[in-house]
């Protein structure tokens, strides 16, 4: 378990020698050509699974995490897993993704920091990738996940599911590899990053890169207490504001002081303490360079790139697709999901919640209701 009282490590990344927990590891053993023209000479993906792959391989479900998520979709926190499963209410016995029926696969994204190849990983020369790690796109990440699917013997996913950054990858899967996706849930994600979303991301990136502990991106092997912790913490504070809604923050915190602290005396408002808490948690469990890499990846997200635009790209989708958004989401507003739904030719599903963008993690009952219809349809289809 992560101890927040301790000095934060230079990186919160999982590294060889740390407890593996439920992780399994796939090593490609071959180069991955990237959209940028660069390549990774080899790569590894950490992943977790629940259930057993059916003999006919028809029950595989791919679950894709958001920016600071990881492969630990379900299960408690513990050695190797600093946080509980982020969709724990959806995966498990008696739940909508019941391992008795489905083979659930959740990879840590390429460029991430919880066991998959990323800036904190070891490069071919034996040093840490650090500043040398190449730029990635969502399509690069999907290509890596397709290699994992090949290794697992999965030709077509019964369903590909994701929210936020995971929703971007779910959509890219459906567009790039339509014959390998039978159904998809795209939740709280856009078809392309907007100028405003890129603008929100830019001060987060700059906060990290201008931290004196950044060292040009080569800080990973510094002792505990060093590294770009302040920058990563500021980035998290900025991001977290966009993850929640103004009405929720107002109702929850108002202008309350934190436990008797008074801002006039150098204390904090309760909402400031809340943001500080989330910043502190993240610097103990995440890598600043992965945060920059993945944020830039999300900024580059555009399913229409090189395909004649978004509308043309969406016409490539053959999967039964559910598109859902959150009515209080100010980061990825409903209009962006409406664009996807219209392009796919389906109705937009709306999650009603005061929690803003974070509702894709919180409103488990509403998400389960969406998934019930999707996976029941797919299961019935495979049983015919």
Tell me: the pLDDT tens digits for 26-79? Answer: 999 999 999 999 999 999 999 999 999 999 999 999 999 999 999 999 999 999
**More confidently predicted of 353 and 378:** 353
| Residues classed as catalytic | 164, 329, 357
Summarize pLDDT for 119-157 with one digit per residue, the tens: 999 999 999 999 999 999 999 999 999 999 999 999 999
Task: Quote the strand ranges of the chain, DSSP E.
Answer: 24-27, 32-33, 39-40, 44-50, 60-64, 103-107, 159-163, 183-187, 320-326, 348-351
Residue 45 bridge partners (DSSP): 26
> How far apart, in whole angstroms, are the C-alpha atoms of residue 24 and residue 68?
19
pLDDT at residue 4 greater than cutoff 80: no
What are the phi and psi torsion angles at 187 (to 5°)? -120, 125
- pLDDT at position 3 is 40
| Tokens coding 70 | 């990881």
DSSP state of 7: P
Report which secondary-structure segment, H or E, holds 205: helix 195-209
CA distances to 171, 187, 345, 368 from 341, rounded to whole Å, are 11, 11, 6, 19
For 100, half-sphere exposure in the C-beta direction (CA atoms, 13 angstrom radius) is 5
Burial class (CB in 10 A: 0-12, 13-18, 19+), 98: middle
- The whole-chain average pLDDT of the chain stands at 95
**Residue 380: which pLDDT band, with cuts at 50, 70 and 90?**
low
> How far apart, in whole angstroms, are the C-alpha atoms of residue 232 and residue 238?
10
- pLDDT at position 316 is 98
Summarize pLDDT for 314-363 with one digit per residue, the tens: 999 999 999 999 999 999 999 999 999 999 999 999 999 999 999 999 99
**Kindly report the CA angle at 12 between 10 and 17, in degrees rounded to 5?**
95
Q: What is the pTM of this model?
A: 0.95
Burial class (CB in 10 A: 0-12, 13-18, 19+), 344: buried
Summarize pLDDT for 159-209 with one digit per residue, the tens: 999 999 999 999 999 999 999 999 999 999 999 999 999 999 999 999 999
Across the chain, how many H-helices and E-strands are there?
11, 10
DSSP state of 218: -
Summarize pLDDT for 71-115 with one digit per residue, the tens: 999 999 999 999 999 999 999 999 999 999 999 999 999 999 999
Q: Is 74 helix (H, G, I), strand (E, B) or coil?
A: coil
**More confidently predicted of 28 and 258:** 28
**What is the mean predicted confidence (pLDDT) over 249-274?**
87
CA distances to 87, 106, 151, 167, 174 from 59, rounded to whole Å, are 19, 14, 16, 20, 17
Give start-end residues of each CATH 1.10.1740.110 domain in the chain.
198-295
What class is the 198-295 domain?
mainly alpha
The 3-state secondary structure of 280-327 reads HHHHHHCCHHHHHHHHHHHHCCECCCCCCCHHHHHCCCCCEEEEEEEC
> How far apart, in whole angstroms, are the C-alpha atoms of residue 230 and residue 209?
11
**Residue 284: which pLDDT band, with cuts at 50, 70 and 90?**
very high
Give start-end residues of each CATH 3.40.50.1820 domain in the chain.
24-193+302-383
Q: Cα 5 from chain centroid?
A: 26
Domain boundaries 24-193+302-383, corresponding CATH code: 3.40.50.1820
> How far apart, in whole angstroms, are the C-alpha atoms of residue 382 and residue 379?
5
């Amino acid at each position: 378990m992560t101890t927040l009282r301790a000095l934060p490590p230079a990186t919160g990344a999982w590294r060889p020698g740390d407890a593996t927990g439920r992780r399994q590891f796939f090593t490609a053993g071959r180069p991955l050509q990237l959209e940028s023209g660069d390549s990774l000479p080899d790569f590894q993906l950490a992943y977790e699974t629940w259930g057993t792959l059916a003999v006919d391989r028809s029950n595989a479900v791919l679950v894709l995490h958001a920016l600071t998520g990881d492969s630990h979709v379900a299960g408690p926190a513990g050695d190797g897993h600093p946080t509980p499963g982020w969709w724990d209410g959806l995966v498990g016995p008696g739940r909508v993704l019941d391992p008795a029926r489905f083979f659930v696969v959740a990879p840590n994204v390429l460029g991430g920091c919880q066991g998959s190849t990323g800036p904190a990983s070891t490069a071919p020369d034996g040093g840490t990738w650090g500043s040398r790690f190449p730029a990635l796109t969502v399509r690069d990440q999907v290509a890596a996940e397709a290699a994992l699917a090949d290794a697992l013997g999965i030709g077509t996913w019964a369903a590909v599911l994701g929210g936020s950054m995971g929703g971007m990858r779910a959509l890219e899967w459906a567009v790039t590899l339509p014959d390998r996706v039978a159904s998809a849930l795209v939740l709280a994600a856009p078809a392309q990053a907007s100028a405003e979303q890129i603008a929100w991301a830019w001060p987060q990136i700059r906060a990290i890169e201008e931290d004196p502990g950044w060292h040009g991106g080569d800080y990973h092997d510094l002792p505990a207490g060093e590294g770009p912790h302040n920058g990563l913490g500021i980035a998290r504070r900025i991001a977290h504001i966009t993850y929640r809604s103004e009405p929720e923050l107002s109702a929850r915190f108002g202008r309350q002081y934190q436990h008797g602290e008074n801002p006039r005396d150098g204390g904090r408002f309760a909402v400031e303490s809340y943001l500080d808490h989330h910043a502190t948690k993240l610097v103990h469990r995440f890598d600043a360079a992965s945060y920059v890499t993945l944020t830039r990846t999300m900024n580059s997200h555009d399913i229409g790139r090189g395909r004649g635009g978004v509308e043309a790209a969406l016409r490539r989708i053959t999967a039964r697709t559910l598109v859902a958004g959150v009515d209080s989401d100010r980061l990825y507003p409903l209009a962006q999901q409406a664009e996807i739904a219209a392009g796919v030719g389906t109705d937009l599903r709306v999650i009603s919640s005061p929690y803003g963008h974070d509702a894709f993690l919180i409103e488990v009952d509403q998400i389960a209701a969406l998934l019930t219809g999707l996976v029941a349809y797919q299961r019935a289809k495979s049983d015919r």
